[in-house]
Chain A
């Protein structure tokens, strides 16, 4: 075809067909984006005093409405928006989980009873830490309500991330998800320098990983001539000889995603960011980003790179082993509970990777179950961390947790449930999750990987149980943190987390059926 002459009408060259968009199926994403915009307007036009209640109504209504739309779409399998969005079983399942977990996270963020001077966020993030301005804003009892638009946008990005069917939409979703999180990470009310440092690191390294992802996408485009995941898959089967572009492209895309799940060696941001961020945000991030990023990773691996399985499986083997071992082992020597849970989340990512590597239907189903189980447990655990306080804020050093079980048995029991679940003790969700992931991997022939995984979970059990021991088998001293009495928000989130954790351990059947029926990704 000859190049179009200048002045020629564009439409003569490219006939324009109206894109077919199934608005019903992408409604959850649209609702959250709309809520984000509405939320920005609320910030603009509602007087300061009225903002918080209005924002909360907007956010909760949007989350529930979006969840209703996900329920309404249940069972759909369709590719829409010109092939750039794929609504299928796993995608909807992850979207539903994301919305529920986000709901709990929103409750934690809305809590303002545990900190006597307000909520977990700086009254005005732009003031210099320790400055006169900061003191004044705090004194006047200002509350940061701009977290809510950021929250909505981030959730909408996650919802899009798990159903995006081409690399460009995936990249856009990645950024919509991440940029608000970078900001949220820097907004802690206490220990603000630590928080800002975390935000900065998260942003810089996140940008680097995004660059990897984008570069990888470009290389894959260079290889296949398309950004559509199914087309890339077709091209891989069609021309197996073109390996360099494909290999480096695939590697870079995977690196971008592995960064988000916190896999070794792309994990170093995790402890710093988890520790520095406001605890509700850490909980939000730890639970939802993990789901979203694994959703996207699974889709890329199973849909686009399915034909390359023999190439990426050994690489993921190594990464899974490194992730499990490094996460579990380093967590042993941590003395800060948030850092410990950060390394724990790295280790958990490794366990999920074990299911991912299996690359079978069971592997997918077990990874999905693991994500659901992990998300609810994590959000609950961070709810407890937000409540254990002293006069200067949260008491995150492990020594401050000694004897907590004596002072506040109910909260400590809830935390024990979460720790047991993360350690994989039976009758908690974590056990069923680990068991199904490991059996899926063994069935796929990855026996040695599972042996490493079981050993790593043994090591991991040690540091989870150490907290339990500390809480229940040590005498409370003057150093012991006090558990603040929360409002109904945190109480509900905590109770929901604990309930799901136990129910998924005792009667996991319905959810197991759900993940099994979620089927494979649509192509």
Chain B
């Protein structure tokens, strides 16, 4: 059993990791106009400070023996009532360490990039404030040592994401998207909330240490329930089927937000949650299977949507869904998958952030146009963006030696060990990834220029291209670095546990087949979108394309299944509450007096009908009490 060490040395500053960006957010949001000038720089500095601190902690942690790497720091006792005790306490272990680095380093780069991207926005002080708030909440999420505190971070990132999606509130579509994101996320949050309560009742505690320590004592039914509830939570946050509908709309937010929150960090919180709760999923087979199924469905939904969208950001969003689907699938595979889920999460965080920032750079040059049908031939005018985007492209489709190859290949490999069908489906998914990414690159950077008349594309400024370059370097080397130099498997092993089993296919064969699929998919993409000129208006497309353009009818399903029924229920209840009782009274009056005209006066607000319903209620209460007694 792992032991938890008190926080010493640099670790005594764990709380500072969160406090720095939080203080930045406070200064920026409460400071008012006087911080307009220097505020954004302060915002960048706080995150860079956290990143530096994170690196120091990594170095100190690497100096410790593997079993001593789980560090705990208690800030203060947060909630303590009869039978329930929760501390405001942090836990820094191998898993949270890599997340801290991902969040702060990618966060720093995106903050720097935003200095350029948001340069002309009148509200940019607020933007950096929200961004800092997000970083603080996300760090809280991954550093919490118990589920309740995790829940606070969970809601916090939701809130920050909501504020940032709706940042350009002038656009009604942005406000609507923000609302949708929050509502759908709330559905997931209910799952997490219920899971925490079930844990509390089952284990008497909500700290990770207690819950995982006692997990073996709980019945499988309870663990399955907890696991499914956690999966619901993960679906909401990570835009997995059936709660995927919000992510595409979330692209209404500024592009750096899409890169940081809706690609690299927040949307991967679901993966973190499942991997963190591995002790539960290991013992709940059905829950783990459900995780795999959800992941697989989303891999394909995301890929299909990504293939059909003409909006570059939405296409990337579809791709994000699909890639997170890979991670979720891996997390559902059990001990052999956890490590690779996190591995893919890290590489994806870097290359997808690079791709999104690249898309942002393109949009910056194209007067904020997002329609890829009006792009084309940008490689000539945006050299750095093209090169960095292309590296991200190679990374995501999984061409060796770029980062995505290593992580995706490991997932596919692990999936084959679990079951050939899963592995085969994932390879097919990799093929589709090759197709839609090639389509995107071809439409954007190659072919003929299809620009609108008043658009004069140009390369972005250094403050934007330097983060792109750094992320591109990361996309190139991170996979190898983590695997061969960082030994990520061994690093995470104390947290996730590991199991190796002989593979039915040799590694080389897996690599060969999946590479073949990727290349075929990519070639189809290149051929389809380079050989023929891309029409400026989208052709009608096949049934599947049209469905995918409408997000595979995600909204319509929500509308029919959730939104409309709840409004109807509300209407019916209002009617019942107001009209029915009156109708009853008036009905009697009409019957008794013979004035059928009075039946029309179904008007609300009569004290007498309220009184009648009170009496009715009284009768029901008495009946309820007596029935209980007599039964």
B197's partner among A201, A247, A450, A459 (CB-CB below 8 A) is A450
For the complex, is A166 an interface residue (Cβ under 8 Å from B)? no
Contacts A268-B610, A329-B570, A425-B155 aside, 11 further interface pairs with beta carbons under 8 A come to A200-B607, A204-B607, A264-B617, A265-B616, A330-B573, A330-B574, A333-B570, A443-B83, A465-B182, A466-B179, A473-B175
Q: Does A168 contact B (CB under 8 A)?
A: no
- Across the interface, do A311 and B629 meet the contact criterion of CB distance under 8 Å? yes
The answer to whether B82 and A361 touch across the interface, beta carbons within 8 angstroms, is yes
Give 21 CB contacts A-B under 8 Å: A205-B611, A208-B611, A209-B614, A212-B618, A255-B617, A265-B614, A272-B605, A326-B577, A332-B566, A333-B570, A333-B574, A425-B155, A425-B159, A427-B155, A427-B156, A439-B201, A443-B201, A465-B183, A469-B178, A473-B166, A509-B78
Contact A329 B610 (CB under 8 A): no
Q: How many Å from the CB of A215 to the closest CB on chain B?
A: 10
Instruction: Tell me if A281 is interfacial: C-beta within 8 Å of chain B.
Output: no
Quick check: A462 and B183 within 8 Å, CB to CB? yes
Segment touching A, from B185-193, B467-475, B552-560: B185-193
How far apart are B25's CB and chain A's nearest CB, in angstroms? Answer: 13
Q: Say if the beta carbon of B484 comes within 8 Å of chain A.
A: no
CB within 8 A of A251: which of B79, B190, B621? B621
Contact (A508, B79) CB under 8 Å given A265-B616, A326-B577 = yes
Residue among A209, A329, A361 with most chain B CB within 10 A:
A329
Shortest beta-carbon distance from A217 to chain B in Å: 15
Interface positions of A (Cβ within 8 A of B): 197, 200-201, 204-205, 208-209, 212, 243-244, 247-248, 250-252, 254-255, 258-259, 264-266, 268-269, 272, 310-312, 314-315, 318-319, 326, 329-330, 332-333, 361-362, 365-366, 369, 425-427, 432, 435-436, 438-439, 442-443, 447, 450-451, 454-455, 458-459, 461-462, 465-466, 469, 472-475, 507-509, 512-513, 515-516
Closest chain B residue to A328, Cβ basis: B570
Interface residue from B79, B615, B625 paired with A247 (Cβ < 8 Å): B625
Task: Indicate with 1 or 0, residue by residue over B145-186, a CB within 8 angstroms of chain A CB atoms.
Answer: 000100110011001000000100110001100110011001
Q: Which residues of A contact B611 (CB under 8 A)?
A: 204-205, 208
Secondary structure at the A interface, as helix, strand, loop or mixed, is helix
Interface string of B600-631 (1 = CB under 8 A from A): 00000101001101111110111011101100
User: B residues within 8 A CB of A451?
Assistant: 194
A459 is contacted by which of B77, B80, B566 (Cβ under 8 Å)?
B566
Q: How far is the CB of A44 from chain B (nearest CB, A)?
A: 34
A362 and B155 within 8 A (CB): no
Given A330-B577, A442-B201, A458-B186, CB of A265 within 8 Å of CB of B82: no
Does A461 lie within 8 Å of B186, measured CB to CB?
A: yes
Name which residue of chain B comes closest to A461, CB basis: B186
- The size of the chain B interface, using a CB distance under 8 A, is 59
Cβ contact within 8 Å between B577 and A454: no
Closest Cβ of chain B: how far from A340's Cβ, in Å? 12
Interface of B is mostly: helix
With A255-B617, A329-B566, A473-B174 in contact, do A508 and B197 touch (Cβ < 8 Å)? no
Query: Would B194 and A509 count as touching, CB distance under 8 A?
Result: no
Q: Mark B273-308, 1 if CB is under 8 A from A, else 0.
A: 000000000000000000000000000000000000
Q: A459-B566, A473-B179 are in contact. Are A251 and B197 (CB under 8 A)?
A: no
Task: Identify which of B81, B170, B570, B628 contacts A515 (C-beta below 8 A).
Answer: B81
Residue numbers in A under 8 Å from B182 (CB-CB): 465
Residue ID in chain B nearest A423 by CB atoms? B186
**A-chain residues with CB within 8 Å of residue B174 when the two chains form the complex:** 473
How far does the alpha carbon of A513 sit from the alpha carbon of B84 in the complex, in Å?
Answer: 11
CB pair A472 B621 closer than 8 Å: no
Q: 6 tightest A-B contacts by CB?
A: A265-B617, A473-B175, A426-B152, A268-B610, A315-B624, A473-B169
Q: Is the CB of B156 within 8 A of A269?
A: no
Q: Given the interface contacts A315-B624, A326-B577, A473-B178, does A362 sit within 8 Å of B83 by beta carbon?
A: yes
Q: Are B614 and A205 in contact (CB under 8 A)?
A: yes
Give min CB distance, A387 to chain B, whole Å: 20
Is A436 a contact partner of B625 (Cβ separation < 8 A)? no
Task: Give A113 to B192 CA distance when docked, in angstroms.
Answer: 45
* Complex CA distance for A469 and B166, rounded to whole angstroms: 9
- Distance in Å from the Cβ of A346 to the closest Cβ of chain B? 10
Check B82–A329 contact: CB distance below 8 A.
no
Chain B residues with CB under 8 A of A425: 155, 159
Roughly how many angstroms separate A255 CA and B615 CA in the complex, as a whole number? Answer: 10
> How far is it, in angstroms, between the C-alpha of A469 and the C-alpha of B84 when the chains are bound?
35
In the bound complex, residues from chain A placing their C-beta under 8 Å from that of B200 are 439, 442-443
Question: A265 and B197 in contact (CB under 8 A), knowing A329-B570, A426-B156, A475-B170?
Answer: no
Q: Whole-angstrom distance from the CB of A288 to the nearest CB of chain B? A: 22
The answer to the question of B569 belonging to the interface, with a C-beta cut-off of 8 Å to chain A, is yes
Q: How far is the CA of A469 from the CA of B162 in the complex (A)?
A: 10
Interface centre among A205, A269, A442, A473 (most CB of B within 10 A): A473
Contact of B628 with A315 in the complex, beta carbons under 8 Å: yes
Of A205, A310, A365, the residue contacting B610 (CB under 8 A) is A205
Distance in angstroms between the alpha carbons of A248 and B247 in the assembled complex: 55
Q: Is B485 an interface residue (CB 8 A)?
A: no
**Nearest chain A CB to B233 CB, angstrom units:** 12
User: Smallest CB–CB gap between B257 and chain A, Å?
Assistant: 15
What residues of chain A lie closer than 8 Å to B78, measured between beta carbons? 507-509
User: Which residues from chain B contact A509 at a C-beta distance below 8 Å?
Assistant: 76-80
- Complex CA distance for A42 and B613, rounded to whole angstroms: 42
Establish whether residues B610 and A201, one from each chain, have CB atoms under 8 Å apart when the complex forms: yes
With A255-B618, A458-B190, A472-B169 as contacts: A366 and B76 at CB distance below 8 Å:
no
- Interface: B571 (CB within 8 A): yes
* Distance of A332 Cα from B562 Cα, bound (Å): 14
Which residues of B sit under 8 angstroms from A439, Cβ to Cβ? 84, 197, 200-201
Residues of B within 8 A of A314 (CB): 624, 628
Query: Residue B38 at the A interface, CB < 8 A?
Result: no
A212 to B622, CA, bound (A): 12
Docked-complex contact B81 and A201, CB < 8 angstroms: no
Across-interface contacts of A474 in B (CB, < 8 A): 169, 175
CB closest chain-A residue, reference B626:
A247
Q: How far is the CA of A252 from the CA of B170 in the complex (A)?
A: 55
What's the nearest-Cβ distance from chain B to residue A39, in Å? 31
Q: Are A512 and B169 in contact (CB under 8 A)?
A: no
Asked whether A472 lies within 8 Å of B570 as measured between CB atoms, the reply is: no
Q: A333-B570, A442-B197 are in contact. Are A250 and B190 (CB under 8 A)?
A: no
How far is B190's CA from A333's CA once the two chains are assembled, in angstroms?
Answer: 22
Which residues in window 325-362 of B have CB below 8 A to A? none
For A250, the chain B residues whose CB sits under 8 A away are 625
Nearest-neighbour CB distance to chain A for B618, whole angstroms, equals 5
* B198 located at the interface, meaning its Cβ lies under 8 Å from any Cβ of chain A in the complex: yes
- When distances are taken between beta carbons in the complex, the residues of chain B under 8 Å from A366 are 81
Chain B residues in 8 Å Cβ range of A311? 625, 628-629
Give Cα A365–Cα B79 distance, bound, in whole angstroms.
13
Of residues 584 to 608 in B, which have CB atoms within 8 Å of A's CB atoms?
605, 607
Q: Which residue of B lies closest to A450 (CB)?
A: B197
B480 to chain A, nearest CB (A): 40
Contact with A along B199-221 (1 / 0, CB 8 A): 01100000000000000000000
In the complex, which residues of chain B have a beta carbon less than 8 angstroms from the beta carbon of A332?
A: 566-567, 570
Determine the residue in chain B with the shortest Cβ distance to A436.
B81
Q: Which residues of B contact A469 (CB under 8 A)?
A: 166, 175, 178-179
CB of B155 within 8 A of CB of A432, answer: no
Neighbouring B residues of A312 by C-beta, 8 Å: 625
Complex: how many Å from CA A405 to CA B165? 17
Cβ-defined partner of A255 (8 Å) among B80, B613, B621: B621
Given contacts A330-B570, A427-B152, A454-B193, contact A266 B614 (CB under 8 A): yes
